């Protein structure tokens, strides 16, 4: 049985306008009541205006956005120390801050900076972290995300995923003048880069395990083809343009093979595995139903996929050993599709239908197969795990517009990423 969504307190609706270049405004639509109070004190900064960069602001935003922290407003800070020696711990204890981050941004030379930071437990006065990160001007954002990652991991015990990237499809303009873009942005939506642009649909971006390449579907020739594009060089290869359907690419964990969906002449979709080195093609499923949306198990020996062989779409798992029969995994509800595996393989996330709406659900893979519906939208699709498994990003709709949203994989924290223009869909969270 599908458990009803847990009733949770709505903590606050917080809007964060970060840097002007930011693609998204993040709204925390449901927060965690037990968010940990932390003070990220503004870092001391070099005098030159060219070097001005607010490390603390970015770290503070990252931590707040995770839903696990409640970062203190800097106007509530009585003083702004930049090193542990300068902290008046008794004062900070009265401000109810459990942790604090202090630090400095130091100019090291032409286009060379050091971020020096320390993390303290305010109650015990213990220094939990003390690091120096060297970066050029262009690397300051990434370095600051790495500060947030280290703080997150030290306190929560889970690796932070702030210094990672997300790929997604953006659709600009209206019928019939639509522009489709494949975009890669930082995990906070900042620094968006156009990877591919077309007047015809782009679909299903999938990260290679090393984060160097994306596979995706492009209709640029009016027919679907699967492409692999190297991000650094822009070099791209058409890896499948067979007659019929060429869809739903998914990389094997070793990055050497691609699972994908192809069709026979009479339009029967099945899942295949393409060896990227030898171009050898192996058929994995063989059923007159729609078999699609493959996803690899971590050991590379099985595929999860969607099939409507039982009527409506449901999720199955099949071993790649020849002659294997698929095993059905979902039984609750009439529509369960597009599985994605959590990084530790303890959980699947997928799209389920509930009261006529499409929502993001998870299922434990511990044997009990408990299902939890995490979202409340009407068109929530395309879930993708953060590489630390803590958060799921997905595509939703807001007042008729495609937007991205995130939910913690336990369903307790929700946020919406509001893009200033166009439709945003099919987010795919990149690896560490």
3-state DSSP assignment of residue 84:
helix
Pairing of strands 25-30, 414-418: antiparallel
How is residue 416 written in tokens?
């919406």
**CA distance between the termini of the chain:** 35
Sheet holding 314-319, edge to edge: 291-296, 302-307, 314-319, 327-328
C-alpha 432/C-alpha 394 separation (Å) is 18
Shortest distance in whole angstroms from residue 213 CB to other proteins: 11
Shortest distance in whole angstroms from residue 70 CB to other proteins: 25
Smaller CB separation from other proteins, 75 or 265 = 265
Smaller CB separation from other proteins, 120 or 216 = 216
- Helix intervals (H) in 276-323: none
Smaller CB separation from other proteins, 39 or 166 = 166
Per the CB < 8 A criterion, the answer to whether 432 and 187 are in contact is: no
Shortest distance in whole angstroms from residue 211 CB to other proteins: 5
Alpha carbon 343 to its chain centroid, in Å, reads 12
Pairing of strands 36-40, 69-71: parallel
Shortest distance in whole angstroms from residue 199 CB to other proteins: 5
Shortest distance in whole angstroms from residue 428 CB to other proteins: 12
Shortest distance in whole angstroms from residue 95 CB to other proteins: 30
Shortest distance in whole angstroms from residue 186 CB to other proteins: 8
φ, ψ dihedrals at 63, nearest 5°: -65, -40
Q: Is the Cα dihedral 51, 55, 61, 66 positive or negative?
A: positive
Smaller CB separation from other proteins, 61 or 270 = 270
What Cα–Cα distance (Å) separates residue 322 from each residue in 285, 289, 315?
A: 10, 19, 20
Q: Among residues 37, 35, 30, which one has the least CA distance to residue 6? A: 30
Smaller CB separation from other proteins, 18 or 218 = 218
Smaller CB separation from other proteins, 68 or 165 = 165
Smaller CB separation from other proteins, 87 or 135 = 135
C-alpha 109/C-alpha 107 separation (Å) is 6
How many C-beta atoms lie closer than 10 Å to residue 131's C-beta?
13
Shortest distance in whole angstroms from residue 193 CB to other proteins: 4
What Cα–Cα distance (Å) separates residue 104 from each residue in 44, 45, 79?
A: 5, 6, 15
């Amino acid at each position: 049985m599908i458990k009803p969504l847990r009733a949770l307190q709505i903590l606050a609706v917080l809007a964060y306008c970060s840097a002007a270049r930011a693609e998204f405004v993040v709204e925390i639509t449901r927060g965690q009541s037990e968010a940990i109070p932390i003070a990220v004190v503004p870092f001391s900064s070099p005098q030159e205006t060219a070097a001005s960069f607010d490390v603390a602001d970015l770290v503070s935003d990252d931590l707040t956005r995770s839903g696990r922290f409640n970062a203190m407003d800097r106007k509530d800070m009585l003083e702004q120390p930049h090193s542990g020696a300068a902290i008046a711990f008794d004062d900070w204890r009265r401000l109810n801050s459990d942790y604090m981050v202090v630090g400095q941004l130091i100019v090291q030379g032409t286009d060379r900076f050091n971020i020096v930071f320390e993390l303290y437990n305010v109650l015990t006065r213990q220094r939990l972290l003390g690091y120096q990160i060297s970066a050029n001007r262009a690397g300051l954002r990434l370095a600051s995300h790495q500060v947030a990652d280290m703080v997150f991991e030290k306190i929560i015990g889970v690796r932070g995923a702030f210094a990672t990237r997300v790929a997604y499809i953006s659709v600009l303009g209206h019928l019939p003048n639509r522009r489709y873009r494949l975009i890669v942005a930082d995990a906070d939506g900042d620094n968006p880069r156009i990877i591919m642009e077309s007047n015809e649909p782009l679909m299903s971006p999938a990260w290679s395990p090393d984060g160097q390449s994306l596979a995706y579907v492009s209709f640029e020739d009016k027919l679907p083809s699967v492409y692999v594009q190297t991000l650094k060089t822009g070099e791209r290869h058409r890896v499948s343009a067979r007659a019929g359907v060429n869809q739903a690419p998914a990389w094997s964990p070793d990055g050497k093979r691609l699972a994908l969906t192809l069709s026979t002449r009479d339009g029967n979709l099945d899942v295949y595995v393409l060896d990227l080195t030898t171009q050898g093609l192996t058929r994995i499923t063989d059923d007159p139903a729609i078999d699609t949306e493959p996803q690899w198990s971590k050991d590379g020996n099985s595929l999860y996929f969607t099939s409507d062989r039982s009527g409506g779409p449901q999720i199955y798992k099949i071993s790649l050993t020849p002659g294997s029969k698929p095993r059905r995994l979902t039984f609750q509800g009439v529509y369960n599709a597009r599985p994605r595996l959590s990084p530790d393989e303890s959980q699947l996330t997928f799209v389920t239908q509930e009261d006529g709406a499409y929502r993001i659900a998870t299922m434990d893979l511990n044997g009990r197969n408990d299902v939890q519906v995490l979202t409340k939208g009407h068109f929530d699709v395309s879930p993708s795990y953060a590489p630390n498994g803590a958060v799921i990003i997905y595509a939703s709709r807001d007042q008729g517009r495609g937007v991205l949203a995130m939910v913690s994989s336990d369903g307790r924290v929700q946020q919406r990423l509001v893009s200033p223009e166009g439709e945003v869909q099919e987010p795919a969270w990149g690896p560490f």
